Amino acid sequence: MKLSAPRQITFWIAVALAVLGLLGVIVPSLPLIGGFAFWLVLVGFVVLALGNLLEGL
């Protein structure tokens, strides 16, 4: 399996999703994001993993 560095936009999208998920856990006044916090972090990780596994993503 050959890994490649993700594109910069892919990396920043993954970081934004992870930060939103963490904010949903840390800040209790964000109920809309808090309900999806786990899924936001998971999708951020999947986006980052796909960026590493697929060429040009």
- The predicted pLDDT at position 1 comes to 78
Per-domain boundaries in the chain: 8-53
Sorted by sequence, the CB contacts under 8 Å of residue 3 that are 6+ apart come out as 52, 53
Distance CA(13)–CA(33), nearest Å, equals: 16
Residue-wise pLDDT for 6-56, tens only, equals 999 999 999 999 999 999 999 988 888 888 899 999 999 999 999 999 987
pLDDT confidence of residue 51: 94
HSE-up of 23 (CA within 13 Å, CB side)? 10
